[in-house]
Structure 1
Amino acid sequence: MGAARSEAGRTVTTSIPARLDQLPWSRWHWSIIIGLGTVWILDGMEVTIVGNVAGRLSEPGSGLPITSGEVTGIAAALYVAGACSGALFWGRLTDIYGRKKLFLITLAVYLGATALTALAFETWWFFLFRFLTGFGIGGEYAAINSAIDELIPAYYRGRVNLVINGSYWLGAVGGSLLSIVALDTSIFPANVGWRLTFALGAVLALVILLVRRHVPESPRWLLIHGREEEAERIVNGVEQQVMAETDKPLPRAEGQMTIHQRKRTTFTEIARTVFAQYRRRSTLSFALFVGQAFLYNAITFGYGAILIQFFDVPSGHTGYYFAVIAAGNFLGPLLLGKLFDTVGRRIMISGTYLLSGVLLFGTAWLFDQGSLNASTMTACWCVVLFFASTGASSAYLTVSEIFPMETRAMAIAFFYAIGTATGGISGPLIFADLTNTGVVGETVLAFQIGAGLMCAAGIVAAFLAVNAERRSLEDIATPLSVTKSEGETSGA
C-alpha cells in the first residue's frame, strides 16, 4: 500500500512521493504540461502586447487618453504591483486550500480582468484592470510552480519547470505578431485593433480553463492535509495509465516517510523555517529574483519605446523585432534546460546569470559607441536573453524545490513578490524616464544596472545554489510534517 493510516487518524506512512518520482515519462505528464504551462503563454502575450501597443495607444484616435510613458511606466508598474500582491494573497491560500482550487480561481480572475481591459475608454479603467490582470497572474506563479514540481518526476523536474516558465516567450512571440496585425490601421481602426488583442487573451484563457479542470490535485498536498485516500486513488490511476501505455510493470518504489497530518501551517512556522532554518536559501532566492526582475521588468517592458526613440522604427513594426527577441528567450530554456538535470543546478544557474550580465554590459558599450542599429541591437538582445531567460526561469525552479512542502507556495509568492517589487515596480518607473529621454547615456545606464544585478545574482548562486538535480523534493527539504526520525535537513 502507498499509504497506511494509523488508528489515531493523524499519522500516515506513505511511499507516494517515491512512486511519483519513479514514474517514466508518459502522456499523463504531457497533459500536466499542457494544462498548467500554457498560462505563461498568456502572460507573455499580455506583457508584450502592452509594450508594443504603447506607441499606438498614445496616438490620437486610439480611444484612450493615455501617453506612451504612462503605458510603459505607470501601467507596467501597476501590472507588476498586482502580480506581487496577488502572489502573496493567493500563495497563502494555495498552501491552505490546495493547488488545483487556486490555479482555477486565479486563471478565472485573469480572464475577467483581461476582458475588461479591452473595454477601457478611460485611463483609470485601463490602469485598474491592468492591476487586476496582474493580481490573477501573481497567484498563478505560486499555484502552478508548486503543482508542477509536485507532479513531475525528479529526473525531469528541472528541464520541465524551465521550459514551462520559458513558454512565457512563446506568448511573447504571439503577442508581437498579433500586435503587428492589430496595429495595422488598414485592417482595424486605431481604436479597435488593440482592444481585440486583449479580447483574444480572454478567449484563450477560457480554453485553458476548460483544459485545466482535468489536472488533478497534488497527491503530496493531499497526504499532508488528511486526504490520503484521494492521493492514493490519483497515484493508482496514473500508474495504471503508465503501465497500459508502456505495457511494462512499474518497479517497486523505494523510500517511505511518516508524516503527521495538518490542516495548515502558521505564519510563525513559515517565517522560522524560511528565514532561520533556510536563511542561506532565502538569500539565494532573493538575489535570483531581484536580478531577473530588474532585467526583464525594468528594460524589456520598454524595448518597443527604445526602438522608436533611437532607431525611428514605426510603432506598428516593433512587433517584428520583439518576436525575434522572444524566440531567443524561449530557445534558452528549451535548449539548456536538460543541463540543469545533468550538469547540475549550481553551475547552470550561476553560469546563465553571469553570462547574460556580461553580454549585456557588452551590448551597452556598443550602444553607447553608436555601433548598433535596430537589427543589430535586436540581435545582441537575442543573445543576452537566450541566457537570461534560462536564468530567470531557474529562479522559479529554485524557490519551488528548496523549501519544505508546507511552505512551498508561500515561499514562491514571497520571493516573487519581494524580488519583483524591487525590480519590477521601481524599475519601469525609473527606466521609463531613462529610456524615454532620447539620451543615449541614460539608456546605457539602464542597461548597466540590469547587467550588474544579473552578475551579482550569478555570484551569489555560485556560492549558495543547492544541488537539487534528480533529487526528490522531500530529500532536498524535509516536509515539516515528517516525524523527526525520518530525517533532518541542515537548512543550508
Structure 2
Amino acid sequence: MSSSQRSVETGRITTDIPARIDRLPWARWHWLVVVGLGTVWILDGLEVTIVGSMTDALKPSDTGLGLSSSDVGLAGAVYVAGACVGALFFGQLTDRLGRKKLFLLTLGVYTVATVLTAFSMNPMWYFAARFLTGTGIGGEYAAINSAIDELIPAPYRGRVDVAINGSFWVGAAGGSLLTIPLLDPSVIDQAWGWRLAFGLGAVLALGILFVRRNVPESPRWLFIHGREDEAEQIVRDIEGTVVDETGADLDPVDETITIRQRRSIGIPLIARTVFTLYPRRTIVCFSLFVGQAFLYNAFFFTYGDTLSTFLGVEQVGWYVAVFAVSNFVGALVLSPLFDSIGRRRMICGTYVASGALLLVTSFFLGSFSAVTLTLMGAIVFFMASAGASAAYLTASEVFPMETRALCIAFFYAVGTAVGGISGPLLFGWLIDRATEGKDISQISIGYVIGGVLMIAGGIVEAFLGVDAEGQSLESIAKPLTAEDADTPGNAAPAPA
C-alpha cells in the first residue's frame, strides 16, 4: 500500500447495508425519494420548453431581446454547455462531499439563475443566465441519479430511473401550456410574459427544495466515507418506516461486503477505472449519450422555431404539449420492461426503432403539416424517451459507487457536448438557411444525423450492454474500496 493510499483510508468495515436496502418492499417512503429528487427533470423540461416555445417572443427588440434564429440556437447551446460544466464540477463534489449537500446546492444555483434569466436586459445577460442555469441542471443530473440509484431497491431501479428521467416531459408539457396565456397579447403584455414564465420556474424550484430537505443522505456513500454509524441509523429509520407503511416483516439478509473506508477518491483513479477497467461500458455510455443528446437537443430546442417559421403556427404551445405528453407516456409505459425484458434488449430496441422512424421523417419532411409533423414526432419520441432515460440509468449503475456521480457527469458532459451543443447550433443554422430558400426540407439533414446516431447507439448496446436488471449495484460493479475476500456479496463479474 502506498503512503497516499494510507493517507486517505480511515478503516475497514463489513456491512450488510446494500443488501438491506435492496430487499425492501416498495412503500410510501420511496415515493418521497421519487418526488423529492425526481422532480428536477420537470424543472429541466420546463426550462427547455419555455425557451423552445418562446422563440417568437424573444425575437422582437421592443418586447423581447432581439434574438435571431441563430441566437436561439446559440442560447440552447450555451445552456447545454453550462450543463456540461456544471455536471463535471458538481459531479466530483458529489462523490467527495455527499449526495445530499450537492442536490441541495445545485437546486439553489438553478433557482438563482432562473430568476436572473427573468430579469435579462440584453442578449449577453440572457446567454450568461442560461449558462448559469445549465450549470445547476448539470450538477443536478449527477447528484440526483446517484442518490436515487443508491436509495431505490434493485428490483425497481430500472423502472424508477426511466420513469423519473422521463418526467422531464411533464415539465415540458406544463411549460408549453404555460406559454399559451403568457404569449397571448390579450392576456398579458408581451414584454412581461416570457419573464413571468421563467419566474414561475423559480417558484416551482423553491417548492421542490422544501420537499427535498427530508430526503436522507445515501447510506452507501456514508459507510464508504467512514460514517457507518450515520448510515446504520438512516437504514434503521428507513426499515422502520417501510414496516409501518406496508405492515410486512422484512426478511433477514446474509450478504455483506467488506469496505476499505476512504475520505476521497482521486481523479486519476476514477479515470483509470472508467477507461482501463471498464472500456466496453465506457463505449456503451458514450454512444448512448451522444445519440440521445443530439436527437433531443437538435430537434426539441428548435421545434417551436420550426413550427412558427415554416408551418405558420402562432401558438406553438399546444403542439409542444402533445409532443411532450407522448414522450412522458412512452417512458412511463415502457419503464417496467427494463426490469422484466432487460436493459440490453429494451435500450437497443428503443434506440434503433426511434432512429429508423426519424430517418423516415426526414425523407418526407417537406410534405408534413404542423399536425402531421407533431404526430410523427410523438411516435418517434414515444420510443426515444424511454431509451434516452435509460442512458442515464446505464451510466449510474455500471460503474463503482465511489465514481458514480462523476461517471454520470463525465458521460453526460462529453455526450452532451458532442450532440447537445452541436445539435442546436446546426439546426439554428439550417433553419436560417432554409428560411432564406423557404424550404423546410433543407433541415432534414439534421434529422438524418440524429437518426443515424440513435441507431448506432442501439447497435453498440446490443453487443456491449450490461444485463443489470435485478442486480445490486455492488454486484454490477464492485466498489473500488471493496476487499477481495470470499465474503458473500463480494463476488462481482469480471470488469469489461
Q: Distance in 1 between matches of 2:281 and 2:409?
A: 15
Cross-structure match for 1:3: none
Cross-structure match for 2:154: 154
User: 8 Å contact 2:10–2:260 — kept in the other structure?
Assistant: no
Of 457-466 and 52-61, the range deviating more from structure 2: 52-61
- Partner SS for 2:281: helix
By how many angstroms is 1:488 displaced? 4.7
- Partner SS for 1:156: helix
Cross-structure match for 1:181: 181
Cross-structure match for 1:98: 98
Letter in 2 for 1:455: I
Cross-structure match for 1:453: 453
Query: Identity percentage over the alignment?
Result: 57
Letter in 2 for 1:487: A
By how many angstroms is 1:484 displaced? 1.1
**Large movers: runs of 4+ above 3 Å:** 486-489
User: 8 Å contact 1:158–1:341 — kept in the other structure?
Assistant: yes
Unmatched tracts of structure 2, length 5 or more: 1-8
Q: Distance in 2 between matches of 1:186 and 1:452?
A: 44
> 1:97-116 maps to which residues of 2 (within 5 A)?
97-116=97-116
Cross-structure match for 1:414: 410
By how many angstroms is 1:333 displaced? 1.0
Cross-structure match for 2:316: 318
User: 8 Å contact 1:350–1:459 — kept in the other structure?
Assistant: yes
By how many angstroms is 1:60 displaced? 4.3
Cross-structure match for 1:363: 361
Q: Does 1:490 align with 2:484?
A: no
Picking from 337, 340, 353, the partner of 1:339 is: 337
CA displacement, residues 288-313 of structure 1 (integer Å, 9 cap, x when unaligned): 00000110111211001111122111
- Partner SS for 2:186: coil
Cross-structure match for 1:57: 58
> 1:135-284 maps to which residues of 2 (within 5 A)?
135-284=135-284
User: 8 Å contact 1:55–1:68 — kept in the other structure?
Assistant: no
Q: Distance in 2 between matches of 1:227 and 1:452?
A: 47
User: 8 Å contact 2:146–2:405 — kept in the other structure?
Assistant: yes
By how many angstroms is 1:26 displaced? 0.3
User: 8 Å contact 2:77–2:424 — kept in the other structure?
Assistant: yes
Count how many residue pairs are aligned between Structure 1 and Structure 2: 480
Letter in 2 for 1:15: D
User: 8 Å contact 1:40–1:165 — kept in the other structure?
Assistant: yes
User: 8 Å contact 1:305–1:436 — kept in the other structure?
Assistant: no
By how many angstroms is 1:490 displaced? 1.4
TM-score normalised by L of structure 1: 0.96
Q: Distance in 2 between matches of 1:158 and 1:246?
A: 22
- Partner SS for 1:484: coil
Cross-structure match for 1:87: 87
Q: Distance in 1 between matches of 2:106 and 2:272?
A: 28
Letter in 2 for 1:490: A
Q: Distance in 2 between matches of 1:153 and 1:181?
A: 42
Q: Distance in 2 between matches of 1:342 and 1:66?
A: 47
- Partner SS for 2:389: helix
- Partner SS for 1:12: strand
- Partner SS for 2:25: coil
Cross-structure match for 1:464: 464
Cross-structure match for 1:4: none
Cross-structure match for 1:23: 24
Letter in 1 for 2:25: P
Q: Distance in 1 between matches of 2:64 and 2:10?
A: 62
Q: Distance in 2 between matches of 1:95 and 1:148?
A: 14
User: 8 Å contact 2:10–2:263 — kept in the other structure?
Assistant: no
User: 8 Å contact 1:277–1:490 — kept in the other structure?
Assistant: no
CA displacement, residues 174-221 of structure 1 (integer Å, 9 cap, x when unaligned): 000001111011111110000000000001101111110110000000
**CA 1:249–1:83 in structure 2 vs 1: closer, same or farther (change >3 Å)?**
same
By how many angstroms is 1:59 displaced? 2.1
User: 8 Å contact 1:286–1:419 — kept in the other structure?
Assistant: yes
- Partner SS for 2:14: strand
By how many angstroms is 1:63 displaced? 4.2
Cross-structure match for 2:6: none
Of 357-366 and 21-30, the range deviating more from structure 2: 357-366
- Partner SS for 1:261: strand
Q: Distance in 2 between matches of 1:308 and 1:246?
A: 51
User: 8 Å contact 2:474–2:492 — kept in the other structure?
Assistant: no
Q: Distance in 1 between matches of 2:89 and 2:264?
A: 15
Unmatched tracts of structure 1, length 5 or more: 1-7
Letter in 2 for 1:329: N
CA displacement, residues 83-104 of structure 1 (integer Å, 9 cap, x when unaligned): 0000000000000000000000
Letter in 2 for 1:400: S
Q: Does 1:385 align with 2:381?
A: yes
**CA 1:82–1:189 in structure 2 vs 1: closer, same or farther (change >3 Å)?**
same
User: 8 Å contact 1:306–1:436 — kept in the other structure?
Assistant: no
Cross-structure match for 1:434: 430
By how many angstroms is 1:352 displaced? 0.2
Letter in 2 for 1:46: E
Cross-structure match for 1:66: 67
Cross-structure match for 2:287: 287
Letter in 2 for 1:142: A
CA displacement, residues 350-385 of structure 1 (integer Å, 9 cap, x when unaligned): 0000000011111112214x2x21101100000000
Cross-structure match for 1:425: 421
User: 8 Å contact 2:166–2:332 — kept in the other structure?
Assistant: yes
Q: Distance in 2 between matches of 1:245 and 1:166?
A: 27
Q: Distance in 2 between matches of 1:426 and 1:155?
A: 37
Q: Distance in 1 between matches of 2:10 and 2:456?
A: 49
